[in-house]
Amino acid sequence: MNVLVTGGAGYIGSHCALALMQSGYDVAVFDNLSTGHQETVDTLSGCNLPGRFLGFQKGDLLSMEDLDRAFKTFQIDAVMHFAAFSQVAESMKDPGKYYRNNVLGTLNLLDGMRAHGVKKIVFSSTAATYGEPEYTPIDENHPQNPINPYGSSKLMIERIMDDYDMAYGLRSVRLRYFNVAGADSGGRVGEWHEPETHLIPNILKSTFGDGKEFSMFGTDYPTRDGTCIRDYVNVEDLADAHVRALKYLENGGETDFFNLGTNSGSSVKEVFGSCERITGKAIPLRVCGRRPGDPAVLIADNKKAKETLGWQPERALDDSIRTAYGWEKANKQH
């Protein structure tokens, strides 16, 4: 089966492309390289795995011509869709960019799928569609009231996918991630953002002694140690869930949505302590006030993914930090 991975040159998309090829799927990557990297594509194309790397097309979801070319060139049977802008703060400042790229881009992708008879898509959604938690752990029945344009754009896409299933029989699985962490245990791909906004890589970058310090935002939350608690799911476990979601659709599974998390949380202080322990270094720290819009606790209820997809997160937070640190050391020039 030929799978088009949009955003496959990025962090999560590249790990899922590896997992697909490891499972025997043939993969084509479609990416505009605005946040993904040519070096990542080169790594994927050089991997000797059961599934083949069909090729890379530099293209944009806002161009129907680019999408048509990809579907024709690679004879696509299914899609995994990661291509999106994903910075919450930026989405607040420039919502138009997010609605145009994320919503209109996905509409183009779905219409391209229809034009080429492709009926299965696994979509990278987000816990940001839930907004402020009314209760935790958050299950799939939790109200979806996003509090930023990024989360709103993803929720709009989920609703569009429901309509495309009803009208056109285009089936989707939407995977709502909590916090993703770690890197490929083989060191082939990892997290590489410019600038980096995620907690664990930013803590690890502070170990290199080049003047970077880690900022801890808010130590007065109503949690066990005063810092925010988040649910960190390992990126390789996440990739496994995507392969299972595609198999679920292949086996006739209906359009559905699943939370991907571990059912447990780690506080910012606990993550910081784990990073110090694993790196063996004292990390320079600056304590700051709370950031607006940061809920105290975000933890996933992952029971539905376990029951329906047979998915079980296997790796602990320490595993994610260890692989992330290996990646950061190997790629310090980034």
Sheet holding 229-230, edge to edge: 266-267, 229-230, 297-298
For the beta carbon of residue 168, count every other beta carbon within 10 angstroms.
13
- Please name the residue that has the structure tokens 């579907």: 71
| Beta-bridge partner residues of 56 | 29
Annotated catalytic residue, options 98, 99, 130, 150: 150
The whole-angstrom separation of Cα 206 and Cα 13 is 26
The whole-angstrom separation of Cα 233 and Cα 314 is 9
> What's the DSSP call for residue 103?
I
The whole-angstrom separation of Cα 17 and Cα 25 is 9
Question: Is 164 designated active site?
Answer: no
Q: What angle do CA 174, 178, 179 make, to 5 degrees?
A: 135
> What's the DSSP call for residue 36?
S
Where does residue 17 rank: exposed (0-12), middle (13-18), buried (19+ CB within 10 A)? buried
Give the tokens for residue 5: 């991975």
Which residues in 110-135 are b (16+ Cβ under 10 Å) and which e? bebbeebebbbbbbbbbbbbbbebee
As annotated, the active-site residues are 150
